[in-house]
Amino acid sequence: MSKVEPLPLELQTAVPQSLPVYEIERLSKTYARNNLTALSDVYLTIHKGEFVSVIGTSGCGKSTLLKIMAGLLPPTTGRVVLDGRPVLGPRPDIGMMFQQATLLPWKTTIENIVLPIEIREGRAAAKAAHVRAMDLLELVGLGDFPNVYPGELSGGMAQRASICRMLVADPAMLLLDEPFSALDEFTRDFMNMEFQRICMERGATAFLVTHSLEEAVILSDRIQVMKARPGRIVEDVRIDLPRPRTLEMINTQEFGEIVAHIRELLGKEAHE
């Protein structure tokens, strides 16, 4: 099922490289209950290995966009396609991560990590996935903690475990809903760098919702700037900083200019 569809002009010129993994066209979401237009005419294409962020003020519809992309919420109009197949509900090839680690306290770290497999394929398959889960724990530096209960993990460690849970089914697409925003600033910086390393090692394709400008710029290849009422993408900002990014880049002029540009875009709205 291959199809070559014309991409919207601006995106076509923006990213000419590899295969599109995720394609969203004319997406809109209206809540009939209060006749609220949460999203209006959203176009977004994410290519393999790309890291795309969406940033905007609260209530701009970015969480709604993420939920629709995850198949947790149906769109009102438009097309959402992942790996050539339309998204019509939750899918095993999507990995998700939330603001809280949401580890189940009655399961050990490794049991939490294989939970997606346990839910989909049963306990035997989950048991078999322990080897893979162990590799992931090593990858995030939690190799010594497979049998520890989440209550004994620090906030950063818990989020690393939830990274493993997101990766365990080897998803084609990672969806992240402000994953590190509950952590303190230093842990957060560290986790962002760790997350970049993990994504680069695995060639992951990721979509991040955040309201931290620095976080968006340091992690992303592209940033979608969203505005509210109705929720829409107003600019697709490319970040050409070299990889791997480092925290020192935050102090460079280029970084500062990007941050200033986006801040101005969003600041205007805050005044409106």
Partner 1 sequence: MTDASRPEVEDTVWEEREALIDRIPRWIAMTFLFVAVVAIWDLVTRMGWVSAIILPTPAETLEDLIFVGGNLIAGEYMVDALWTTTLTVAYGFLIAAGIGFSLGVLVGETKFGERAVMPYLVAIDTMPKVAFAPLFIAWLGFDIGSKVALAAFIATFPIVVATAAGLYAASENERLLFKSMGATRLQTLLRLKLPTGLPYIFTGLKIASVGVMAGAITGEFLGGGRGFGALIRQSASQLDTPRVFALILYLSLLGLALYFTVVWMQRYFVFWNKAEKPGGIG
Residue 71 makes contact with partner 1 by CB under 8 A: yes
Residue 149 makes contact with partner 1 by CB under 8 A: yes
Residue 181 makes contact with partner 1 by CB under 8 A: no
> How many chain residues interact with partner 1 (CB under 8 A)?
23
- Which region among 27-35, 83-91, 186-194, 216-224 touches partner 1 (by CB under 8 A)? 83-91
**Considering beta carbons, is residue 169 or 219 the nearer one to partner 1?**
169
**Considering beta carbons, is residue 43 or 207 the nearer one to partner 1?**
207
CB < 8 Å & 24+ apart, contacts of 14-17: 14/222, 14/236, 14/238, 15/45, 15/47, 15/50, 15/222, 17/47
Looking at the DSSP bridge assignments, the partners of residue 175 are: 96, 207
Residue 127 makes contact with partner 1 by CB under 8 A: no
> Least distance (Å) from partner 1 to the CB of residue 242?
33
Element (H, E) at 39: strand 36-47
Residue 100 makes contact with partner 1 by CB under 8 A: yes
CB burial string 47-86: b at 16+ within 10 A, e below: bbbbbbbbbbeeebbbbbbbbbbbbeeebeebebbbbeee
Residue 98 makes contact with partner 1 by CB under 8 A: yes
Task: Specify the DSSP class assigned to residue 242.
Answer: P
Residue 190 makes contact with partner 1 by CB under 8 A: no
For residue 90, what are its two tokens?
């939750």
Residue 102 makes contact with partner 1 by CB under 8 A: yes
- What residues line the site for partner 1 (CB under 8 A)? 67, 70-72, 89-92, 94, 96, 98-100, 102, 104-106, 115-116, 119-120, 149, 151
